[in-house]
Amino acid sequence: MKIVKIIAIVLLVAFLGIQFFPVERNQSDSVPKTDFMLVNDVPSDIQNKLQVSCYDCHSNNTQYPWYNKVQPVAWFLEGHIKEGKAELNFNEWDSLSSRRKASKLRSIIKQIESGEMPMASYTLIHKEATFSEEETQKVVKYMENLKDSL
Amino acid sequence: MSKLKLVLGIVAIAFVTLTAVSCKDAKTDKNNSTEHHSEMNADGDHSKMNHDNSDGHHDGEKKEMTMNGNGTSQAVLNDYFNLKDALVADDNAKAKNLGAVLAKSLGSLDISKYTEAEKSELKEIIEDAVEHAEHISESDIAHQREHFKVLSKDMTDMVAITGTKVKLYEQFCPMYDGGTAWLSTKEEVRNPYYGSKMLKCGKVQREIN
């Protein structure tokens, strides 16, 4: 029992300790002119869906709920955001060439259709980010039209 | 009793914490050793297959890589064809390695001798193609084939600018993803999108000299 207590205290200290390591917040006040929503005529329901389901990891601005400010959750999230933004940043959409836009749109469509995105670890907490069948169809159709119009 | 609960609770939280932290570390480790890892995979896969055959392929790769000057479009094409052959052979691990090789040769393609318009076009092609090649270097085979489709389009557009020393055949499979093309140095069709499942599905739709 004594050993358990000691271990517990050590771990507690470690847990409290890591709270002091700063995390780079993915937050920005301004939306650049190159943003996907600004350069494309996106219907409001699709805008809303993308904002809720994609923009947390694929833009310069993440909506942080309280638990995402607690370590090590924040670290975990930070890694995902970094990776997500490297892959696709909706805020910088218009800086891509048409060729790259077409590639990205193809990937967006594939990933939403197959349910790979949004990631399961994300929708686990953000239930509202899940795509219903109807939403999938709508967004995929929009993205396909956009790809054809490039 | 409530003390015990508290202690257990703290232990649980701490455990989750440490697990998550160590997960993160493990992940970076994995990223760092991707190449090494896939090489190991390659060996694992090869042992299941004909040894002589795969060894022969390896030698071929090395020879081709040293024979062709780095930075030329021909070097890029060779790496593309090696990758294509790996997909024809349903060899996920090998395609991973060759995807990384192709990403590298794309990155070192010398475009200085082209006109400004061609340069900017080539830059876009390379940027796109590198991304697909990198994805191929870390995906399962279904994903590799998806990326190979767009990569093939990039390569075709590149050849339209750079030209090619050897005669190429643009081949077309009407079944894969609404119809999909690829390039080959041989006239006979070996389908990289289906591999052994439908090896000969497709036709030559264009010859490029």
Q: Which of B52, B132, B49 is nearest to B98 (CA)?
A: B132
- Residue B46 is predicted with a pLDDT of 43
Q: Which residue has the higher pLDDT, A79 or B97?
A: B97
Question: Is B138 contained in some domain?
Answer: yes
B137: exposed, middle or buried (C-beta count within 10 Å: 0-12, 13-18, 19+)?
A: buried
Task: Look at B24 and A4 and tell me if their CB atoms are within 8 Å.
Answer: no
DSSP-derived secondary structure letter, A88? -
- CB contacts of B24 in chain A (<8 Å) are 72, 75-76, 79
Domain boundaries, chain A: 2-148
Structural domain that includes position B127:
54-61+68-208
Give residue ranges of B with CB < 8 Å to any A CB: 7, 10-11, 13-15, 17-18, 20-21, 23-24, 27, 124-125, 127-128, 131-132, 146, 150, 154
- For residue B158, how far is the Cα from the chain centroid? 17
- Residue B21 is predicted with a pLDDT of 47
CB atoms within 10 A of CB B14: 19
Mean pLDDT of A102-125: 92
Question: Is B137 contained in some domain?
Answer: yes
Contact B155, B183 (CB under 8 A): yes
Strand intervals (E) in chain B: 168-173, 180-184, 203-208
Task: Look at A15 and B17 and tell me if their CB atoms are within 8 Å.
Answer: yes
Mean pLDDT of B49-64: 43
Q: Which of A8, A66, A19 is nearest to B14 (CA)?
A: A8
The model's pLDDT over B20-55, given as tens digits with 9 standing for 90+, comes to 544 444 444 444 444 444 444 444 444 444 444 444
Question: Is B35 contained in some domain?
Answer: no
- For residue B109, how far is the Cα from the chain centroid? 17
Give residue ranges of A with CB < 8 Å to any B CB: 4-5, 7-8, 11-12, 14-15, 18, 71-73, 75-76, 79, 97, 99-100, 102-103, 106, 110
B180: which strand partners?
Answer: B173
- Residue B4 is predicted with a pLDDT of 57
Its ipTM equals 0.76
B169: which strand partners?
Answer: B184, B207
B178: exposed, middle or buried (C-beta count within 10 Å: 0-12, 13-18, 19+)?
A: exposed
Question: Is B19 contained in some domain?
Answer: no
- Residue B50 is predicted with a pLDDT of 43
The overall pTM is greater than 0.80 = no
Domains in chain B: how many in total? Answer: 1
The model's pLDDT over B141-181, given as tens digits with 9 standing for 90+, comes to 999 999 999 999 999 999 999 999 899 999 999 999 999 99
Question: Is B4 contained in some domain?
Answer: no
